[in-house]
Structure 1
Amino acid sequence: MSLITTIVEQPFDTTYLNIKACLNNLLKSLLSKIFVSSNSSQGKFLSDQQANSEIPPSVKGLSDLKSALDRTAIWVALDSKGLINDLNDNFCQISQYSRQELIGKDPRLLNSGNHSQAFFNSIWSTISRGQVWQGEIHNRAKDGSYFWLDVRIVPFLDAREKPFQYLAIAFDITNIKLANSSLQQQEERLRLALEAANTGIWDWNILTNQLLWYHNTEQLLGLASSPFQGNCEAFLECVYQEDREFARQTINLAVQEKKNCNFDFRVIWSNGSIHWMVLKTQLYSDKKGQPVRMVGTTMDISKRKAAEIALYQQTERERLVSAIAQRLHRGLEQQVKDRTAQLQQALDFEAMLKRITDKVRDSLDEKQILQIAVQELGIGLGVRCCNASLYDLDADTSTICYEWTNSMFSDRGRVALMAEYPEIYQLLFQAQYLQFCNIIPNPVRGKVAMLACPIFDDRGAIGDLWLINDRDYAFQELEIRMVQQVANQCAIAIRQARLYEAAQAQVKSLEKLNWLKDDFLSTVSHELRAPVANMKMAIRMLEICMKQDQLSPHHRQKATQYLEVLQRECDREITLINDLLDLQRLEAGRQSLVLETVQIQHWLPQLVAGFQERAEARQLMLIIELPQTQMPPLVSDISSLDRLVSELLNNACKYTPPGKQIIVTVSAQPGKVQLKITNFGTEIPTEEFARIFDKFYRIKSADPWKQGGTGLGLALVKRLAEHLGGTIHVESANLQTTFIVELPNQGVLSRVG
């Protein structure tokens, strides 16, 4: 009784273990005695020899043992076939079957279906070999409920060592199973919850410095999966090196101040990855208030940290995006303003360009075109000065012809030698613009910013446009493009103006030629008709005189005069015709040279003497000037030379006012002879120089006496001079005109050759 009482009085969680120990002792006692079953023909558990030597004679002791077994356990006796032949009330109570319902039945009547056939075959195989089977069996009661039994099946052997009966002793472990199942479920839920939360549990004995991990703490810290038992230092070794000292100080401070702590730290796993953890503690103290135990959790917050970092990054990005957006907004506003200003400037420039283009295209005056361009550009672009230069490619110069300025000294008329500024004009001649600031200050302007743009057409550079502004000013792309377009329009307009001017000049030339033709026809008609009329009149008068039977001296004199008139007019007619024929031959190149040697100092005075009478008749002084030294003989065509000088003397006598002089000068120069015929009192306009040697051209203002003429004289003189290999040109100023003839000395040239 004392043993059972002791077992019963034990707490529930130790009762089952104590019962199992007592049961083992009880079985040893029972197996040492003889048990005679009332329903069995065999009445021995063991042989007689074993019974006589081991079983005590007292039946009272056996009864006590059976009573204890009935009070503490569930038992059932089975025959050799495994059928129930006896059982106690505990078995009926737990199975909810009556004794009558169970006797003679197979225990598998209570099979819950939780065990397989192999399980039951294993039991039967064990006990049929005379071995005790021990295990747990899940059964179903009559009402369908389930219960668990911890079972020992003991076989009873006959003299042949064969089982003839079995005793199954069991204990109800249903509550223990349910409790264990509940505990397992709770532990599983706790495990799942901790795993789901990435949380581990640990227990630190502060006094012994023993640290015990629970559940998945090892995995969280990146350790091996085997249970870890160590100390606080072993835990700190798991902490990331940069966080280790902070963790140590935080834990020590919590113990010293007897309070809980909560902090984040990092651990590094064996694969090198870094994970964030949060550690939360609960401190326990003894009755004296001294810390003895610290329990806590370790949770993996890597995802949270990543989310926090992501959130921070997202917040930072949003802040940056917002800041950028604000900056962009302000920038866009400024860009819109700038763009609007640029568009407005472009529209203004377009309007300016159209205005300038319309004006220059409407004008065929080159001066007006460039003046309009520089003025419109200067005002429209707001520069200090704008000027236009025209190039003289033959002289290699650039002249500022047109200018607009509002605050600077004028450079109009300034001529620049382009060879002195090759770095500028090389670019301009390549149709490229340039802008720069002069390094050396201009004495008048100082330092200024300049933009130069060529006026360029398909034939090359015509000139350039210059814009001048303050030295810190930089010409923008729109302004440069504007100036280039204006320069292009100016080039087109200038080319048109020059074409128009050339066309007008050609028209004037044609008109002048037409006038010359008309004048020539009128003159020739007059010149031809006048001699003919005079000859006709002389012939008529001569006829009248000839009809007189006897000519008186008076009539004879008249007849002689008429004959002279006829002779003179015939000569005049012949001279005119000869002039036309000679001029035609000279122009056609059919006149040959007949070279003779001429002593100029003898030949010239004789030729001039033929004009003395005519000069005196017109009250003119005809002077000849010869060199003091002997001149070398001249080898030339004497006929052409006589004709050339005679024409010039004839011209001089005709157009020199009475009382004035005509001077003939000759001089010898190396390889040539120079003749000058100068008449005073008359002057040829400079603009007529280029035309006076044209055929049939006559200067109206040079013939106040209306002496007439064909306009062939000077044309013939020029052709004669060229025929002799020489040149002729005119100089006229201060009421005197000089024709200068330079003739090569053919004899000298031949000797040189």
Structure 2
Amino acid sequence: MTRLRDEFIACLPERLAVLDAQWVALTRGEPESIEVLHRMAHSLVGAAGTHRLLGVSDAARTVSRIVAALPPGIEVATEQLDTLRAAMNILTEAVSNPGVNPLPPLSVGRATPPRIMVVDDDADQGLWLRSMLEPAGYQVELFFELAAFRAACQDCEPPSAVVMDMVFSAGDDAGAQTIAELKANWLSQTPVIFLSARKDIESKLAAYRAGATSYLTKPVDPDGLLRVMAETVALTPTQPYRVLLVDDDPILLQLHSAFLRQAGMTVLTTDNPLRVPEILTNFSAEALVLDIYMPQCSGPELAAILRDDQQYAETPIVYLSAETDVSRQLLALGRGGDHFLTKPVDSLHLVAVVALHARRFRQAQEASASARAARYERDRHLQAVNAHAIVSVADSAGNITYINDKFCEVSGYSRDELLSHNHRILKSGEHPPAFYNDMWHTISRGEIWSGEVCNQRKDGRHYWVESSIVPFVDAAGLPYQYISIRTDITELKQIEKNLRISEERLRRGQAYANIGTWDWNIQTGALYWSERIAPLFGDTNGELETTYENFVNAIHPDDRQAVADAVTACVEHDTPYQIEHRVVWPDGAVRWLMERGAVTRDASGKASHMLGVVQDIHSRKQAELALIESEKRLKEAQSLARLGHWEAVLESGELFWSQEIFHIFGRDPATFNPSVGAFKDAVHPDDLALVSNSERRAEQTGIHDVVHRIVRPDGTVRYVHELAHAERSADGRLLRLSGTVQDTTEFMEAKENLRQSEERFAFAVEGAGDGIWDWNMNTGEMPLSGHYEAMLGYSKGELTPTVDAWVSSIHADDITRVQQNLRDYLEGKLPLYVVELRLRCKDGGYKWILCRGTVVARNGEGQPERMIGIHSDIDRQKEVQAELEVARESAERANKAKSDFLSSMSHELRTPMNAILGFAQMLEYDSSLSPDQLENVDEILKGGRHLLALIDEVLDLAKIEAGRVDLSIEAVDLTDLIEDCRQMIMPLAEARRLVFDLEISQGAAVRADRFRLKQVLLNLLSNAVKYNSEAGSICLSVHSVDGGRLRIAVSDTGPGIPADRLVELFQPFNRLDAGYSEVEGTGIGLTITRQLVELMGGIVGVESQIGAGSTFWIELPSETLVATDMKVEATSASGTPPTASHTREHMILCIDDNPMNLKLIAQMLGTRPHIHLLTAHTPQLGIELALSRRPEVILLDINMPGMNGYQVLDIFKAHEHLRVIPVVAITANALPREIERGRAAGFAAYLTKPVDLSKFIQIIDAHLSRRPMATNQENLKS
């Protein structure tokens, strides 16, 4: 630089002389000298300034400015020339004493990557910034504290740039404050890039005031960070920037090029602007530096020329001129320039500006190249897509705006036929509307839709496409167009269809054949099997996992080793794998399978896979096993039927016998060799001709069928039946016989016995007076014998012996029944044909006949051919039956009358008994009565209860005699039952000072009805107490007897019973001591006892001795006792009437036509002061009271005049408000069927008269406790 400046100073006088010459020319009126003078002065401004000759540069700038102001093309005024001369004189003086200023430093190319200081107290953020910058070519120093950063700035050279978080924990804007402080000292020229999460303008203003170069908002975009860094810090390019420098001043040209080359740039120079286009053809400049004022062509003119060429339209152009006139600078920039530098220019500034534009141009060129490459790639992709895919574009309404050629080719439509139309033109009808609705709903939300669509070509054929529809959305997120790319998959779909069909055929084939395939990976153990195999192993739900272990576990345990050995042999020795084995299904069923398989091996010969099939052979195996079993059964059947198979070759005399024939002929198969001759020797001599004749007939008929005798070696004679098929020669000779032989000895003997039996039967029938008929079911003939005709008044042979004649003689009322009975017998529905019918006699009357018959012959198809039967005269029996029926009906009427009488008697007796026992019970609780009076009341109660027991016993006897007793037979534990009876009878026994003994073993049990057995034992024990001696004893014993029975005996020490009167004990109403005994009784207790025991399958007996006592016993079937949970019934022995558990007021209505009963109920409820009783003596009044007063409980009699209790109950149940009120029946109807009727009708409870006070109060309390409290207190008060 110093050398160049010295050379420039040396030539300054020469350049000044040129300027003087041009001034002289100007004074001579040569106007062209103005431009030359301006250009040379302009050049001197830049050159002097560049060499730091500032006085020369300023004087030359004054000359340049004065010349530039001169009007071109006209004569210059004297004043102007004088001004110019004065300026040039100053320039001459400056040139004579130029002065020396320090030269500016040269820009040196960076040898190391730019050093960047990153300052951030967030370690993760700092590390992330370093990971972004270092790969981009920057050297990063990371600081997490401001103090460390300050120290580094003081101890080392300033960095290329600083990247700093604006906010530190030290306080708001701590980073900005730090930078402001350092900028004043060490970082004056260092670019600073601030990072901050704050977006407010105050933060940004603070950053820029502190000296920020850029401000980036967190989260930082990586691309944005690198872009700012590239603009802020000049990275040394891998390839030097290429610069073309154009200036007509060779000194400046040399100087400026030195600046740029020193910065590492490749520089070409020229002082002739007209050569620039030529130079650019061989030198791809990334920046042009042009002087403005050059003689051949100005800088702006050259820029305009270059911009006309598209090749240089983007090349950066930097003007380098001494022109300071802003308007001229702007004019130059408007002609195609990008930057304007004023001479003299600082070298660093020149380098920075040129590097900036060169870098941007290179980046733009690289981006353009990338874009071109991308466009090329896109075009190639598009070309590839168009060649393969169907592409279309549709607007927001779905109307087609673009299609490619492939679309037209596949669809068969022309472009004009498709454009502006909706894709519905291609709908095939293959998809439901919901399919298209879902598609449109997806893409209208801006989401991509993908799927397979079946479209229809123009010619109507269908084609399948795999389609993707991509929506393009606007700023509001609404789609404005849709691009669809489709691939024609019609052929693939057809392949899939064919594959499905093939797989379905295979599946069906496997299903029909019950075959499955499997593939076992021997190396990994993985097992695959087709869907058919699982059902073959009994898995119908697909739950069986496909593993080799599950396969082995499914094999029958007895077959597993055989299967394992077969697999091993196949894998190790290539033995064909074929085996039949059993599998056990999850439900325990055993099935037969057949497997075949083979091994595949890899290149080394190692077994890799085993492939095979499994087939269900269960039916075949069952058939094989059945065949074996059938053959076995055949042999057994032949043995049992004494039937054998034989074949005889008559010409050679050979004879084959099955095993059974040896047994029939009494020969040993080990020693006897059968032959035709040996067979003839065994035939009975008297039957040889018979056998020979049958053989001769076989030559004509082809059948050998004969029954004859044989003589065994031991001399016994047997009958055999031979039946064979004959094989004859062409001339009719008998060659071979093959058939069966059966030992029919027993049949022949039975046949003879039958003949004799028939003779005896005919004689017997003849003697019994019965008639015999024999019906040939094929011909209709029916011969008659015996007394058949005589019993109907005909002479022998007078009746036509046909079945039709027999049918015509049947009474018209019987014919249908007789024929149906016959059909049922012939169809197997009846074991015998037995029917009673009336047949017409000769005199025209009818006689009852018992007809019995059976089929005695059937054809080969099992159809009946012959029936034989007898007719017996039962006319007298029918008369007797009619008489008995009349008697039975009479007895039933009498029995019904008795039952009605007993029912009525029970009702009529219970009604007054209700008053007697009811009032007596009330008196029993009257504390004002004296002991004598209470004793009288007790006598009334005892008498009334005894009368009530008599009534119950009479009714019990009536039920037994009528057969209406229902028994529940079960195992009854006698220990518990007898203990219950003992406790019940002990108070009576203790009153008579009787000793009670028990003899029973634990666990004794019988089969009986528990309730009825208890009734029986209580009756026997009660008799033992009543008829015993004072201070005597009672013994109840239980022990086993023959026949699997237990005997329960009750013994007393009473006076005994005479033996001749024991038979009278079980007669109803017969009391042996009635005339003299004070013991109360009805005389029917023992009658009921015997009948109940007999109904339970037992017997009753009695033993007695005068003066020693009596023993009554019963025997019942014994039973083994099964342990069950014991239920204990709790009973109350309280001697006082129950008391109410509440004190609130209640209302009860009682409806009864008997005033005495109403009075009794009133007194019974008198013990409840909070119960108000309403009474009604007629049903109508009761209904009115129920409707108006709404009682909580209604007491209702059943037998009332005008309307019975059931009719009243129906009215209550039909009313909305009355149906919820519990209705309790209080009636004298005490029969079980009447009680059941009452419960079924809907009564809440059913009480029979006479009413038990405790039970009555208990039921009332129970129903009142369930009722809500009355809300209308007026009902209670009124």
Provide the TM-score with structure 1 as the length reference: 0.36
Greater RCO (CA < 8 Å, at least 6 residues apart): 1
| Greater helix share, structure number | 1
Provide the TM-score with structure 2 as the length reference: 0.22
